[in-house]
Amino acid sequence: MKAETISPGFHHWHDLTASQISRVAAEAVVILPIAATEQHGPHLATGTDTIIADTILQELYDRAPATGTYLCLPTMAVGASDHHVSFGGTLSLPPLLFCQILVAQIRCLAAQGHTRVLLFNSHGGNIAPMQTALAELAVELHAKRAVAAGLSYWQLARELWSTIPGLEGRALSHACEFETSIIYAARPDLPRNPPPEKSEWSDSVHEHCSLALPFSAITEKGVFGEPKVATAEKGQELVKRAASCLREFLVEFSAYEPSQ
């Protein structure tokens, strides 16, 4: 590899020089992982969302997409988690401030000639700020022939996950079978505290209605789902399939050209 060039594939931003990054800015996809540091019940580490994001991205580093150049920024380990604060162990940025930070980060990248930015999300509380940031920047980026996108790993992988043998849950919730399984697979070194009993989502007016409530108002232990049925084997398959979906998406996004 020449000193000022990098090959196609998956690269960690921090491993590159400014000159190397600048040379591929116009064609590379910049991945900004956005995660959280927050309570995950009595059995999972507060870094669960960050660990999951990094684990999926490590799968891409180990087996990069077939085409394209991808620059992965360090994971933002603090997100919008105000609704978890009462349980302790939580760091949070207010949703509006977090949105403004995302806007500032993407603007900074666009000012340096980057044309494709992906917000790769691993925390439910980040969804609304992420979508608002994208809406805020849509016209501005389009005028620069640039584009930003955002996705959450569980939404991307939902269909492929549905066929995993033995997986009992229908969808990822919080500190549930899915997240617990991934942590068991990704970090077997962490203590395995006994997971709590199954907890269903409660106090819902309607399944399509969002309520402004903290987690403490709707769950006693900070958990939704059934973590007791989690296994490392399920976690390995969840990560593998999530990485496969992300790999496929990145190839498409790398080739995307905004229309006039």
The CA radius of gyration of the chain, in Å to the nearest whole number, is 19
Sign of CA dihedral 182, 253, 141, 22: positive
**Both structure tokens of 219:** 């769950």
Q: CB burial class (10 A; 0-12, 13-18, 19+) of residue 208?
A: exposed
Q: 218 φ, ψ to 5°?
A: -130, -5
- Shortest CA distance to 26 belongs to which of 107, 119, 145? 145
- Shortest CA distance to 202 belongs to which of 186, 184, 187, 215? 215
Question: Angle between the 177-186 and 232-254 helix axes, to the nearest 10 degrees?
Answer: 90
Sequential pLDDT tens for the chain (260 residues): 455 789 999 999 999 999 999 999 999 999 999 999 999 999 999 999 999 999 999 999 999 999 999 999 999 999 999 999 999 999 999 999 999 999 999 999 999 999 999 999 999 999 999 999 999 999 999 999 999 999 999 999 999 999 999 999 989 999 999 999 999 999 999 999 999 998 876 656 566 777 788 888 888 899 999 999 999 999 999 999 999 999 999 999 999 987 76
Rounded Cα gap, residues 243 and 59, in angstroms: 6
Rounded Cα gap, residues 105 and 25, in angstroms: 15
